[in-house]
Structure 1
């Protein structure tokens, strides 16, 4: 890895000059992770009067982005443009197709600024398109007719399409927390046998709620499919609030609130957040393993990008050309993605409403990389957009080890987190290993020690 001192020298040699500095700190790279906008339910329960034919927007059917969701991301795109084009003057004012390419180590194109990766579902792809429309598709004179877009009747004036890349959803372990991964399922099944989770499941309030919902919904409800009911009811209150109580006669605000609170706690468990730290079952710390297999891959990917960005300054070798002028890497994904990412960093409280629940529509994380010319070291800043109509909130100081009273934190803190929570093998291989295989057992001691260290640090820092 390039030294901090050589970073500055390489920057000088390359003639690289960014257009935004905060004192001695110079911004060189931004990564953005956002949730899609408002959508229809992805599925529902058998007795629900609002089945798939009740959802007609966005082309119709389950899990489609609504016009409201498109607007949320259009507005977020405008906010991002205001921050990085207007205020920071860091992103280019005008989109240039030469500045977008695939992130391949064999690419020969050294001039591009933005790369957008979406999970392979309509709502995240269209959210990305809507967001980019807000960033680079407005009729503000920055794009030229018949140069950047066709000057014909029917084409929105100023709209320049920007490519959105994707990979198969079943193998997308960065963006899709439900990608095929038998190992993750083994860890979750083991976590459910822990005393903490068993006591929760067997509590009177949980058993009573699951029993009532089983009676009301026409299917057996357990903690694994409870989210289907709460999510459908949440969206139906947005779109069918006037009739939901008459068509679902068992529905009440109190029942929904109780079911939602139970589901919130389940989501904490499913993301590796337990009150018992370490939560060791059969020699495995299910909390650490869960965070490794869910949020570990995307955290590792982001830190990898920052390390490469730093290491490639001033280099023109083939493995560096793709990132030399890349200023923004975007992940268009899901609430589950942000939740897993924040849980990997043990800052899930920023991602969710009090005590659980998922990030809201169009929530976005901005991870900014800086070089400090005073000490020649790299720093990061993490900023959060909670929902539509909210601004950008600095959450850097909430990360364990980052100092209070400043918006910046040493990149080594993030690197250490990524190393601690990095999957034990490449995730597409680890997902197909057995939890109790010899190689998995060899990591148990190190996982336990890491959990103990985190527990001691958390207690010392007063975070729990």
Structure 2
């Protein structure tokens, strides 16, 4: 016990005694993971009959899927809110992060696409890049004419977009597509698709715009219309005579349900090919992200309080890990935790600059790990503690065991880049492996 205490004390000195300790009674804040959606953008594509094609969108460099000045401003404001929560000593919840950017403390990861990268830059501008934040010219930024006073450039890390299974829920993953095709053959999805309420909306829209969609591409229409209401509302209603608020809401309702099916949310367990389809969809969508967070938290705990101190240099200083990503990335966290209902209204997906923060706390009385879940629903909102909404959690703090069990349940059966290539059931794989082992053993015995 004395050895563990001495190691923890020594590490606290190494990591810098000038960084304050944040405590809430016996609870001590140790690390924050935050997943946010980018800000307002242009449509990423649209339907063929839409009067607003790519040349209608000029901001953010022009074209599809670019962050708008409004989107930049939304993340600037979110960055300021996050500073007020985690940095400022006055009128803030915690003073946890340093006032001036410290590269050992903060790591920002973005998906490799313009709108998430610029959202991350805008957010960091609000959190660490303002004049008056304590930044020093000549140390934190150039003391030169033309450089914005106080602006500190912070590195935004990224990976290949198509293979980013952690941040991009639409990464290239044959297994996810295979599972989705199976799900569409389920009785529940067939009954839903063929119901009068759903088929009438899809058929009406198909007739009006003379275009058909697969269910996974149906989002294109409500997404484009949502954005066009912001930028071209009057023209939209004049040029698309069929458009009405009521019909738009019907389209959105259909799309919201598709969204839920894609994340494995069914009214009852859907079993096909000896698999729980809902669980398998969650494994490839939510599993990589949830396990990435939990593994990092466990590493932080082990390096701070355990006796295995190998490869701890990076994690010891790290306090704030960011995922700058998409609505589906935030949704993946909410679905994994069973609280996706909080993203349903007014839409079935997280809104611009929505953010979910997973705070890792340590109880200094029972020496156990806990977490707190905080949600920022949309631009302009405050942070709301949502921990008690998670099954198995009571109050603001919840045992880390709950989060670990969720991650374990959703962990892909193999590393995700390998698991995405598996387009058959786990039971089939086990049988195939068993057969191969049998024949290998048989022939080996025969040859001997």
Q: TM-score, normalised by structure 1?
A: 0.87
What residue number does 1:14 align with?
A: 11
Task: State the SS of the aligned residue for 1:73.
Answer: helix
User: How far off is 1:198 after superposition?
Assistant: 0.5
- For residues 365 and 308 of structure 2, what CA distance do their matches in structure 1 show? 26
User: How far off is 1:193 after superposition?
Assistant: 0.9
What residue number does 1:92 align with?
A: 98
The answer (yes or no) to whether the contact 1:210–1:221 under 8 Å persists in 2 is no
User: How far off is 1:440 after superposition?
Assistant: 4.4
User: How far off is 1:15 after superposition?
Assistant: 3.1
Task: State the SS of the aligned residue for 2:353.
Answer: coil
The answer (yes or no) to whether the contact 2:38–2:115 under 8 Å persists in 1 is yes
What residue number does 2:280 align with?
A: 289
Alignment of 1:276-315 (within 5 A): 276=268, 278-313=269-304
Task: State the SS of the aligned residue for 1:338.
Answer: helix
Alignment of 1:397-408 (within 5 A): 397-403=388-394, 406-408=395-397
Alignment of 1:70-85 (within 5 A): 70-85=72-87
Structure 1 residues 442 and 191: CA distance shift in structure 2, 3 A: farther
- For residues 442 and 32 of structure 1, what CA distance do their matches in structure 2 show? 40
Number of residue pairs matched by the alignment: 422
What residue number does 2:359 align with?
A: 368
What residue number does 2:401 align with?
A: 412
What residue number does 2:60 align with?
A: 58
Task: State the SS of the aligned residue for 2:358.
Answer: strand
What residue number does 1:428 align with?
A: 417
- For residues 171 and 3 of structure 2, what CA distance do their matches in structure 1 show? 40
Unpaired segments ≥5 residues, structure 2: 433-448
- For residues 210 and 144 of structure 2, what CA distance do their matches in structure 1 show? 53
- For residues 440 and 288 of structure 1, what CA distance do their matches in structure 2 show? 17
Alignment of 1:239-250 (within 5 A): 239-250=231-242
- For residues 221 and 285 of structure 1, what CA distance do their matches in structure 2 show? 27
The answer (yes or no) to whether the contact 1:58–1:67 under 8 Å persists in 2 is yes
- For residues 203 and 283 of structure 2, what CA distance do their matches in structure 1 show? 33
Alignment of 1:135-146 (within 5 A): 135-146=127-138
- For residues 91 and 251 of structure 1, what CA distance do their matches in structure 2 show? 48
Structure 1 residues 131 and 167: CA distance shift in structure 2, 3 A: same
- For residues 271 and 430 of structure 2, what CA distance do their matches in structure 1 show? 13
Task: State the SS of the aligned residue for 2:366.
Answer: coil
Task: State the SS of the aligned residue for 1:353.
Answer: coil
User: How far off is 1:141 after superposition?
Assistant: 4.7
- Superposed CA offset, 1:340-371 (max 9, x none): 121122211123326x6110000001111111
The answer (yes or no) to whether the contact 2:275–2:425 under 8 Å persists in 1 is no
User: How far off is 1:210 after superposition?
Assistant: 1.5
Task: State the SS of the aligned residue for 2:357.
Answer: strand
User: Which of 184, 205, 208 matches 1:213?
Assistant: 205
The answer (yes or no) to whether the contact 1:176–1:334 under 8 Å persists in 2 is yes
Q: TM-score, normalised by structure 2?
A: 0.90
Task: State the SS of the aligned residue for 2:144.
Answer: coil
Task: State the SS of the aligned residue for 1:173.
Answer: coil
- For residues 141 and 281 of structure 1, what CA distance do their matches in structure 2 show? 56
RMSD of Structure 2 on Structure 1 (CA) = 2.0
The answer (yes or no) to whether the contact 2:100–2:133 under 8 Å persists in 1 is no
The answer (yes or no) to whether the contact 1:312–1:324 under 8 Å persists in 2 is yes
- Superposed CA offset, 1:375-423 (max 9, x none): 11111001000001100000111111112xx200000110011111111
- For residues 192 and 298 of structure 1, what CA distance do their matches in structure 2 show? 25
1:177 has 2:162 as partner: no
The answer (yes or no) to whether the contact 1:335–1:358 under 8 Å persists in 2 is yes
Structure 1 residues 376 and 437: CA distance shift in structure 2, 3 A: closer
The answer (yes or no) to whether the contact 1:296–1:423 under 8 Å persists in 2 is yes
- For residues 427 and 273 of structure 2, what CA distance do their matches in structure 1 show? 14
Task: State the SS of the aligned residue for 1:151.
Answer: coil
Alignment of 1:65-464 (within 5 A): 65-86=67-88, 87=92, 88-96=94-102, 99=103, 112-276=104-268, 278-313=269-304, 319-353=311-345, 357-403=348-394, 406-436=395-425, 440=429
- Superposed CA offset, 1:179-236 (max 9, x none): 0000000111111111111101111222222122222223213422210001000100
Task: State the SS of the aligned residue for 2:316.
Answer: coil
The answer (yes or no) to whether the contact 2:99–2:133 under 8 Å persists in 1 is no
